[in-house]
Amino acid sequence: MHDRERMSGGEIRAGGGLALVFAFRMLGMFMVLPVLSTYGMDLAGATPALIGLAIGAYGLTQAVLQIPFGILSDRIGRRPVIYAGLLIFAAGAVLAANADSIWGVIAGRVLQGAGAISAAVMALLSDLTREQHRTKAMAMIGMSIGLSFAAAMVIGPLLTRAFGLSGLFWATAGMALFGILIIAALVPAAPRVLQHRESAVARQALGATLRHPDLLRLDFGIGVLHAILMATFVALPLALVERGGLPREEHWWVYLVALFVGFFGMVPFIFYAEKKRRMKQVFCAAVAVLLFCELYFWLLGGGLTALVLGAVLFFTAFNLLEASLPSLVSKVAPAGGKGTAMGVYSTSQFLGAALGGIFGGWLYQQGGLGTVFVGCALLCALWLAIAVTMREPPYVTSLRLSLSPAALRDEALRERLLAVPGVADAEVVAEEAALYIKVDTQKLDRTSLERLIDPAPVRAEA
């Protein structure tokens, strides 16, 4: 029993190694955000609209290939897809590093996005971890993504100051190749390919996911959030130069302060939302704060101090929303549909990033900084109008339980499970010999649940 409660050495290596791969890849993707609108104008043929396209271009191919690459990894194996994706990502970085025009950088960013390995990495993580530890391993990847974004905002300006845009892209290529070495040397070989609907896209659940009203609201929300992020990063670095008088080489400390304060600023609200079961109210308030920030940048962001204060508030709201949205998707998705819901969610995120970069660059070219902030404010207002119509999410935990042969033969098992106090949804998947179930842990009658499934101890993933 003691061994089952602790992650094995192989599970720790798998979680840590894959988290590092994710971190290096996202670091390479995001490092250009704080520098491209200021340094990119030195490239031949650069216009504000094309700078915006270069910022968001990776999202176009990422959105298109995210789900297909995940499905391909089910057929040919996780590692070949991950290796190929990292090589494609590195090739895109090399193309951008050698570019002397904005179109070369755009082509490189598009190619970078084609290395869409997120779904394959998550599926490999499922193959390499036991169910009771899978949530911990996925949390390691989630933390690595958040930390890599924060690090990118600081490292990007410092690298570009030292080595230029070309050096930044060469560093990105090196990170991708190092990711291949991590997979080969650190991540254990998977004993089998696991079909797991909580971490991979199931084609059977795709239709229901695309018709689910609250999931569609959340997909729209993550798309808008990343559209606003990309559009804001077309304008904010330029505002720091033009309005704040801060040289582009010194922008790193602004992002360091904003992200550090913003991260710790959002933590109390996350705890409050979960503990008091007020997720909708906190979520909508964060969207309203984001709206306020864009209006503030438009009307009041006239000096360096004002811009730094606005950036702190912006990243507090952004971090809160970025952390809340996946949790809401997990709660709202039907039993056995979380992997599919997250696949569609990720696609929406990357599509929003692509459109946001294009949108921000075009708005800046048409009317300058103020026009970008007004456009972002209008997007926030539309999002807020949609967000307030969503229902309060169910406060449930997703579990995947192994079923005994006797339980699998029980044709009425699902109906009996739904009658257990605290069980919100259930789905029996015979080909996996598994039950996907959503429960309210504060109300769950565990004894009745265990008696229905198997007299043996229940193996669950929280």
CA distance 64 to 50: 21
More confident residue, 119 or 287: 287
Query: Given this model, what pLDDT does residue 195 score?
Result: 62
Nearest to 338 by CA among 350, 347, 326: 326
**pLDDT band for position 271 (50/70/90)?**
confident
**Structure-model confidence comparison of residues 432 and 243, the more confident one:** 243
Q: At 461, is the pLDDT very low, low, confident or very high (cuts 50, 70, 90)?
A: very low
In which band, very low, low, confident or very high, does the pLDDT at 451 lie, cut at 50, 70 and 90? confident
Least confident of 90-94, 146-150, 313-317, 354-358: 146-150
- The answer to whether the CB of 322 falls within 8 A of the CB of 225 is yes
Q: Read off the pLDDT of residues 180-234 as tens digits, 9 standing for 90 and up.
A: 999 999 888 877 666 666 666 777 777 878 888 999 999 999 999 999 999 999 9
> Residue 207 has what pLDDT?
80
- pLDDT band for 55, please (50, 70, 90 cuts): very high
Predicted pLDDT at 193: 63
Residue 216 CA, chain-centre distance (Å), reads: 16
User: CA-to-CA distance for 196 and 336, rounded, in angstroms?
Assistant: 8
pLDDT value of position 454: 64
Higher pLDDT, 112 or 436: 112
Q: In the predicted model, what is the mean pLDDT of residues 162-173?
A: 94
CA distance 307 to 21: 34
H-helix segments, 31-117? 33-39, 48-76, 78-97, 102-114
Does the pLDDT value for residue 453 go beyond 80? Answer: no
Which pLDDT value is given to residue 439?
83
- Span(s) in the chain for CATH 3.30.70.100: 397-453
CATH 1.20.1250.20, applies to 10-387: yes
**Is the pLDDT confidence value at 31 over 60?**
yes
Q: At what angle do helices 338-367 and 118-128 cross, to 10 degrees?
A: 150
Q: What's at 426, amino acid-wise?
A: A
Written as six digits, the tokens of 197 are 């609907």
Q: Which CATH class is domain 397-453?
A: alpha beta
Kindly state the average pLDDT of the residues 287-305.
Answer: 92
Residue 101 has pLDDT above 50, yes or no: yes
pLDDT at residue 3 greater than cutoff 60: no
pLDDT at position 132, please?
67
Residue with the bigger pLDDT between 237 and 263: it is: 237
Token pair 């360096």 is found at 304
Let me know: does 338 contact 198? Beta carbons within 8 Å: yes
Question: Residue 315's pLDDT is what?
Answer: 92
Kindly report whether the global pTM for this prediction surpasses the value 0.75: yes
Question: What's the length of the chain?
Answer: 462
Burial class (CB in 10 A: 0-12, 13-18, 19+), 191: exposed
Predicted local distance difference test score (pLDDT) of residue 196: 64
Residue 1 has pLDDT above 50, yes or no: no
Average pLDDT, the chain: 86
Bridge-partner residues for 401, per DSSP? Answer: 435
List the end-to-end C-alpha distance of the chain, in Å, as a whole number.
17
Q: Would you say 97 and 170 are in contact if contact means Cβ atoms under 8 Å apart? A: yes
Residue 248: DSSP 8-state: G
Average pLDDT over residues 254-261: 90
pLDDT one-digit tens code per residue, 311-324: 999 999 998 998 88
For residue 419, the model assigns a pLDDT of 83
Q: Are 43 and 99 in contact (CB under 8 A)?
A: yes
Q: Are 389 and 377 in contact (CB under 8 A)?
A: no
Predicted local confidence at residue 459, as pLDDT:
43
The rounded percent of the chain whose pLDDT value lies above 70 is 94
What pLDDT, on the 0 to 100 scale, is given for residue 318? Answer: 93
Where do the CATH 1.20.1250.20 domains begin and end in the chain?
10-387
Lowest model confidence (mean pLDDT) among 71-80, 201-210, 362-371: 201-210
